[in-house]
Amino acid sequence: MPIPLFDLSRQKKEQASLYESMKRAALEVLEHQEFILGREVEAFESEIVRRALQEPSSSSLNEEELSLVRKRAHAIGTSSGTDALLALLLAQDIGPGDAVITTPYTFFATAGCVHRVGAELLFCDIDPTTYLMDPEKLQKLLASLSPDAEGGLRTARGNRVKMIIPIHLFGVCCHMDAIMSLAWQYELMVIEDAAQVLGADYPSSDGPKKAGAIAPMSYFSFYPTKNLGAAGDAGLAVCQDAQLAQRVRLIRNHGMEERYYHKVVGGNFRLDALQAAILRARLPFLEKWNEKRRENAALYRAAFLQNGLLERIALPAEPWVQSGLKNHHLYHQYVIRILESAPSSSHAGLRERVIANFIKKKIGYAIYYPVPLHLQECFAYLGYMQGDFPHAESAAQETLALPIFPELHPEEIQEVVATIAQAMD
Ligand SMILES: Cc1ncc(COP(=O)(O)O)c(C=O)c1O
């Protein structure tokens, strides 16, 4: 039997009540016909703050402190995660003359938006075990830049470094304490790319926090394969500052509050009411789906151990497992690495052998991401070379994403691991 990488049809079959409530939600929108922004979007924005952006339950904050935190998260529904970032960059007037730091091992959207607003892209390599921005490399990068007369940092091209965009990849948060402290030291803005981590917990030094509520700004994606997926494209920008949130709202709608009076230049980054309604119906299931993903990850770990593969394959790291926080990893993707030191043939050859076996047995897989961003054709003008970010480059060559979606069956996990074991013989 084929094993898909991701399969929403199982959700439809196995969770009839969810699909009924999605249909009801969509029909209601067709009835009230408030298709753009309006009541559905507003309700979604407040529900998502309550359900996914407030402190984890084991928070050390008391009720009074919690209520302050809660007041600070402002959510703005957008047409996609990409558009949420674009709106945030425009709201902060990032443009020509500025530079933004991010990592080269991720989905294209982040770097694409920085380019589109006319700012310079500066890449920082990843930690080879977590695939996340490496704070030590970030520190070295910042220390290597030239201080200017106003106390800022300039790139070799003369642009002023303004912002860091750490990317919480595959379901786990970056080392935000270290990143935020560097940002504070160098007076840089931070936007969390939280596209893949809705609901994740992070053990910050001042108490547990939710992904997307750690830095002053963040954004999420509800692309259908995400842990919370819409029935199409949708996204969310999050700001802790009310005035900034108001500006993002303006920018989301061509800079107008009153129709046809434009205060600033924005775009059409609006969230459709139909998508908001679908997301509202799906949001209560997020916690359970994340739980299932973690259970599947535990089954993978046991199966790899049972098959004696733990010395040949690096399983996903769990950097915050010791915190005791439940959602320390959400397994948006389950990405293994075929280890360089593995005997027999080259490691790249070994990954190809595993893939060939997957294709034969119709097992779904993906390579996230085959070409690091600094080596993409469209960024050739930046002048980066092969070897500039070795950890991003080797991750692109050695990693493999396996099926992990909540409705995956335990026997299928056994089958995936057995197929990998065969390729390793
Ligand atoms: C890490 C990351 N950033 C940004 C995005 C962009 O989100 P969207 O596809 O909703 O525009 C995605 C989603 O695909 C992503 O995975």
Residues 153 and 198 in one domain: yes
Give the residue, out of 196, 225, 279, 335, with the most ligand 1 atoms within 8 A of its beta carbon, to mutate for a pocket test.
Answer: 196
Same domain for 291 and 278?
no
Are 217 and 330 in the same domain? no
pLDDT at 33: 96
277 in a structural domain: yes
Closest CA to 41 of 14, 9, 73, 78: 78
72 pLDDT higher than 80? no
Omega cis (within 30) before 369: yes
Compute the distance from residue 113 Cα to the ligand 1 centre, in Å: 11
Q: Determine the average pLDDT of the residues in 184-191.
A: 98
* Domain count of the fold of the chain: 2
The CB density around residue 402, as the number of other CB atoms within 10 Å, is 26
Residue range 306-331: mean pLDDT, rounded: 96
Residues 263 and 334 in one domain: no
Residue 54 has a pLDDT of 87
- Do 263 and 386 fall into the same domain? no
Q: Identify the residues whose C-beta falls under 6 Å from ligand 1.
A: 80-82, 106-107, 109-110, 167, 193, 195-196, 221, 223, 233, 235
Q: Which of 284, 300, 329 is the last residue of a domain?
A: 284
- What's this model's pTM, rounded to 2 decimal places? 0.95
pLDDT at 134: 98
Are 60 and 30 in the same domain? yes
Reply yes or no on whether the pLDDT at 424 is more than 90: no
Same structural domain, 268 and 131: yes
pLDDT digits (tens, 9 = 90+) for 211-240: 999 999 999 999 999 999 999 999 999 999
Looking at the structure, tell me whether residues 174 and 106 fall in a common domain: yes
If you average pLDDT over residues 179-203, what whole number do you get?
A: 98
Give the integer Cα–Cα distance in Å for 94 and 117.
7
Which residue type, as a one-letter code, is found at position 133? M
- Compute the distance from residue 333 Cα to the ligand 1 centre, in Å: 13
Q: 285 CA to middle of ligand 1, Å?
A: 21
Q: Which CATH number do you get for residue 128?
A: 3.40.640.10
pLDDT at 55: 74
Q: What is the whole-number distance in angstroms between the Cα of residue 271 and the centre of ligand 1?
A: 15
364: in domain: yes
**299 plus 166 within the same structural domain:** no
**Could you read off the pLDDT of 371-388 as tens digits, one per residue?**
999 999 999 999 999 999
Q: What pLDDT was estimated at residue 56?
A: 73
- CB atoms under 10 Å from CB of 291, counted, come to 14
Q: H-helix or E-strand containing 52?
A: helix 38-52
* pLDDT tens digit sequence for 94-149: 999 999 999 999 999 999 999 999 999 999 999 999 999 999 999 999 999 999 99
Backbone angles phi, psi at 232, to 5 degrees: 155, -155
Task: Kindly state whether residue 3 falls inside one of the protein's structural domains.
Answer: no
Structure tokens at 279: 């997301």
For residues 57 and 104, membership in a common domain is answered with yes
Tell me: do 13 and 149 sit in the same domain: yes
- 208-227 burial, b for 16+ CB within 10 Å, e for fewer? bbbbbbbbbbbbbbbbeebb
Beta strand pairing call for 120-123 and 98-102: parallel
Q: For residues 294 and 347, which has the higher predicted lDDT (pLDDT)? A: 294
Number of H helices, E strands in the chain: 14, 14
Which residue has the least CA distance to atom 7 on ligand 1?
81
Residue 409 lies in a domain: yes
Alpha carbon dihedral 141, 96, 386, 311, in 10-degree steps, equals 60
Final residue before a domain boundary, out of 263, 284, 305: 284
Comparing CA positions, the residue from 363, 350, 356, 369 lying closest to residue 309 is: 350
pLDDT band at 168 (very low <50, low <70, confident <90, very high): very high
Co-location of 264 and 340 in the same domain: no
Q: Mean per-residue pLDDT for 349-356?
A: 93
Lowest mean pLDDT of 61-70, 150-159, 255-264, 291-300, name the range. 61-70
Confidence at residue 343, expressed as pLDDT on a 0 to 100 scale: 52
Is it the case that residue 259 has pLDDT exceeding 90? yes
Residue 175 lies in a domain: yes
pLDDT at 58 over 60: no
Distance from residue 224's CA to the centre of ligand 1 (Å): 11
Q: Which domain covers residue 361, as residue numbers?
A: 286-424
CB–CB of 152/146 below 8 Å?
Answer: no
Share the mean pLDDT of the chain: 94
pLDDT given for residue 349 in this prediction: 87
Nearest-atom number in ligand 1 for the CA of 84 is 11
Instruction: Give the DSSP H or E segment for 256.
Output: none
The whole-number pLDDT of residue 1 equals 87
Among candidate residues 261, 284, 307, the one where a domain is terminated: 284
> What six digits make up the tokens of 395?
């991750």
Q: Which residue has the tokens 């902060």?
A: 92
